[in-house]
Amino acid sequence: MFENLTSRLSRVLDSIRGQGRLTEEQINAASRELRMALLEADVALPVIKDFIDKVKARALGVEITQSLTPGQEFLRVVQQELTATLGGTAEPLNLRTQPPAIILMAGLQGSGKTTSTGKLALWLKEREKKKVLVVSCDVYRPAAIEQLRIVAGNVGVDWFPSQVGQDPVAIAQDALAQARKQYADVLIVDTAGRTTVDEDMMKEIAALNAALTPIETLFVVDSMTGQDAAKTARAFADVLPLTGVILTKVDGDARGGAALSVRQVTGRPIKFLGVGEKSDRLEVFHPERIANRILGQGDVLSLIEETARKVDQEKAQKLADKLKKNKRFDLEDFREQMLQVQNMGSMQSLIEKLPGAQQIQAQLKNVDTEKQMRRTVAIINSMTRQERHFPDLIKAARKRRIAAGAGVEVQQVNQLLRQFEMTRDMMKKVASGGMAKLMRGLAGKLPPGMMPRR
């Protein structure tokens, strides 16, 4: 989502990073470029003004003008102010109440409320080990009720039935009674939306809020709407005691303005990001990590956390033990690594969290990495068990058979085998000399910014 904003800000910061000293003229010029970058990202004007004023005030102060590294200090100031604009620190869900904790989902139609309800239910179930019940109070669209039923089934949480024509408040109260009866920890209430803010919708959701007194009232907003997201958020905040925001469709081509605007406009923290269509694609919002990502510094902490959560630890340990015993890394292992990476989500979302992500994305601009991984797995699946364990057996005749079985050209089988050989060599380095030796081997092969500084 932040690709264009990152590109523009990186150019501004690169122009001053190496300066021995910064003049007021340079700071003003950099501030103008920052303003243009934020305008292009569709950030709300009051937010831009406040951000730029704070950056300039600090940049023209003693901490920059008398610094030995003013370019780096300016970057630090921008990073800190960006973090503050995004909310400062991550704010977790508040579930400290007598069960069931009630979460009310609010937002416009099409913002992703129902999908986010399912994602949040799964997140609570898997991360917080909570028993969750979900209910739809959208009595105007039968499809919305059915969608939530399907979503609840997919993520493995309980669903309370409702019907078109019922009173939304009565549905919510019945669902609450059921949640208490079955000792649910959390009740998530999915409310009706409209294509635009209207008085009837606001009255209805205010009545639901009054009847339920939820511990969390989350505003779900589509990040693709830019400045309009801030305006809609303000309208909801005027009627409801919002406690947080879920920003959806962050993996799309949104310009990033919503993330920078909503926090300051509503005064409420962004608590989650919807980063994909799958039910597990919900991330906790960490302002400092997002600020680093926007400035092209990556988000390695989130990447490590995601890897630890989604990689099969037992399989990873088996591979590590195998390499320690000097056993050969084969195509079966290679396929397993591809499947593990696929399980972590889109390559785009993984690359965005790496330092120097822009350079990597530029190199992969015309490469469909997901398609390549699927093709790699298909080619290996077309091999016999013996061929997977002993790749050196694969000669011309076998290559033709494998290519025909996978529906690809022989050339693509050759490419896979070359890629496998490179990976096998790296695995040998890991087994013989550890990660330090591997990183030395990679030096010079990765884009600038990828290698850690000593």
Binding site for GTP, residues? 107-114, 190-194, 248-251
Annotated binding site: 107-114, 190-194, 248-251
CB atoms within 10 A of CB 454: 3
Report the candidate in 47, 446, 32 with the shortest Cα–Cα distance to residue 233. 47
SS3 272: strand
Facing residues of 248 across strands?
222
- DSSP for residue 329: P
Contact predicate 6/295, CB 8 Å: yes
SS3 187: strand
Q: At what angle are helices 369-381 and 396-406 packed, to 10 degrees?
A: 120
The pair of three-digit structure tokens given for residue 292, joined into one six-digit string: 């680093």
CB atoms within 10 A of CB 182: 12
The pair of three-digit structure tokens given for residue 372, joined into one six-digit string: 């390549």
Report the candidate in 232, 177, 181, 180 with the shortest Cα–Cα distance to residue 205. 232
d(CA 208, CA 204): 6
Q: Residue type for 1, please? A: M
- The values of phi and psi at residue 226, to 5°, are 60, -130
Contact predicate 293/348, CB 8 Å: no
Q: Which residues, other chains included, contact 326 with Cβ-Cβ below 8 Å and sequence gap of 6+?
A: 431
